[in-house]
Amino acid sequence: MAFAENHDSSLIIDVRTPAEWETGHLTNAKHIEWQVIDKKITDLTKDKNTTIYVYCRSGNRSGKAKKILDQLGYTNVVNAGGIGEAQAFIQTLEN
């Protein structure tokens, strides 16, 4: 997935469990479980204007992660939904 490489200021974060992550994830995605995203997001970026795409299995946990990041003051967080939706969504951004 070239999107993250071409857009250095954006992040793709998989918020699923480690077991789910191990079964496969989007290329260039980082892994932070949604429950700890508030504690770990600054390991990836301290820039609150970074575009962040979050995804999970169905879109539920990524919605929770988005809400947490919004509350922390991140201004460009996108719930990309489930992994399949996220892949399709991010591919449309590449083109």
Catalytic one among 12, 13, 29, 56?
56
Residue 56 is a catalytic residue: yes
Q: What is the Cα 38 distance to its own chain's centre?
A: 13
Q: Are 53 and 13 in contact (CB under 8 A)?
A: yes
Residue 38's contacts (CB-CB under 8 Å, 6 or more residues apart) are 68, 69, 72
For 1-95, strand residue ranges (E) read 10-14, 30-31, 51-56, 76-82
Catalytic residues: 56
